Amino acid sequence: MDGRPTKTRLIITVDGPAGSGKTTTAKEIAARLGYRHLDSGALYRALTYALLKADIPESDWAALTVDDLSGLGVRAEASVAVVDLYLGDALLGDELRTPEVTRDVPAVAKLRAVRTWLLDIQRRLGLRGSLVADGRDMGSVVFPDADLKVFLVASLEERARRRLLQDTGRVPTASAVEAEAARIHARDAIDSERELSPLQCPEGALELDTTELEFEEQVGAILKRVIDLTE
């Protein structure tokens, strides 16, 4: 299914736990609709990378202020199809997916100053035109009045398999899936139990269990809801 809504500004949020496929799905939805895609997880990774690059010890992170974060030099620039992230003048890419960043991003994401700083950035990006934003609190906190909210879920084992396949490009072994599932389960606990913006299904969201859905099926279900909104 394809088609571009006639409404001039539409905000769509795609939330879900780690490995649920939210970024891949949101990116595809944005591409088919001609909207801009915002990967909010990349914003947290960019800040984490900047903190590591600046050699600021984790013991000092809790004391950081919004001004401190602004001084790190992380920028989000809206291009035609995506939101590009920079550290100073350097465009960020693969460095956001290093094991060190992946290890530390949960600790950064729970900081109050980080949430405050990124909330303003994300909402300003939402004013730049139609947007598909994915993350863990896009529909519940960042864009509570989004035109369409989607919440993706999948079994723990399937999420682990997808994450490993994405990271390595190879079909994972059973033992690798088991180990990754344990890591994702721990991340789920952090995301769901944190005080600020806990992971939750936003009110009124379209909830999709993608465990046994083909990718085209889940994309089609979301696009159908978008078209229904604009007819």
**70-121, pLDDT tens digit by residue?**
999 999 999 889 999 999 999 999 999 999 999 999 899 889 999 999 999 9
d(CA 14, CA 36): 13
Residue carrying the six token digits 């490009």: 169
Residues 6+ apart with CB under 8 A from 227: 1, 3, 5
CATH of domain 11-211: 3.40.50.300
Residue 8 confidence class, pLDDT cut points 50, 70, 90: low
pLDDT digits (tens, 9 = 90+) for 56-66: 999 999 999 99
Residue 168 confidence class, pLDDT cut points 50, 70, 90: confident
Show the CA angle centred on residue 164, arms to residues 159 and 167, nearest 5°.
125
Domain boundaries along the sequence of the chain: 11-211
Contact 154, 161 (CB under 8 A): no
* pLDDT for the residue 192: 87
Backbone angles phi, psi at 111, to 5 degrees: -75, 135
Read off the pTM. Answer: 0.88
* pLDDT for the residue 18: 86
